[in-house]
Amino acid sequence: MKDIVKWKFQKTAQNMIEKLQGNGFEAFYAEDLSDAKSQVLKLLPEGVTIGLGGSITIEDMDILKDLRSDKYKLIDRYQPQDSAQHISLFREALRADYFFTGANAITKDGEIICTDCSGNRVAAMMFGPEKVIIVVGVNKLVDSIEQALKRIKTIAPMNAQRNHHPTPCAVSGVCENCHVPERMCNYTGIIHTGFRFEGRITVIVIADSVGL
């Protein structure tokens, strides 16, 4: 059964890549997290400044120790810091050479959708850093933008729990469309195509279920 599931993941990844490429994005296939990590490191020239978006996929790739090496200038949002320091790093990352992140959803038509708390990831994906690298698993595939937004609401309680945000959904386990200062779903970005700045956005699609 595992072989059949993996075959399905592989076919899904290949289809996603074709759609993404058709929309003007650079897109590549990765067999697993380890393969994705190798591909990301090949894409990063030595000496570049790197910004990061919050992502379980990035954390699970075990790539942070590589990015923290002397080869790169990492704007490290994952170091323990207070809120003001984090926001300062978010702003600094908008001027990075490379921005590395995950995504909440990709539609079957090859559109990329993300929702943020502070908006730093959405902003950097849209404009700012010269290059953007997005790593996603096939579990992020949805039928439409509407389904992407539904998926984001479904995973919101888990993200709130993970980030220790005292939101209503962190208690109930379902999106409450809350209106509280701690709300995580404040900014949503949709990237329809990559044609405007050719070669700026690269998507690595992993033939596996990764992240939330």
Residue 54: per-residue pLDDT? 87
pTM of the model: 0.95
Residue 13: per-residue pLDDT? 98
- The per-residue pLDDT of the chain, averaged, comes to 95
Residue 82: per-residue pLDDT? 82
> 76-134 pLDDT, tens per residue?
988 877 888 889 999 999 999 999 999 999 999 999 999 999 999 999 999 999 999 99
Residue 163: per-residue pLDDT? 85
**What average pLDDT does the segment 11-26 reach?**
98
Residue 26: per-residue pLDDT? 98
Q: What is the percent of the chain with per-residue pLDDT over 90, rounded to a whole number?
A: 89
DSSP 132-190: EEEEEEGGGEESSHHHHHHHHHHHHHHHHHHTT---HHHHHSS-----STT-S--EEEE
Residue 6 has phi, psi (to 5 degrees) of: -65, -40
Residue 122: per-residue pLDDT? 97
CATH number assigned to the domain covering 2-206: 3.40.50.10420
> 155-195 pLDDT, tens per residue?
999 998 988 889 999 999 999 999 999 999 999 999 999 99
**What average pLDDT does the segment 195-210 reach?**
97
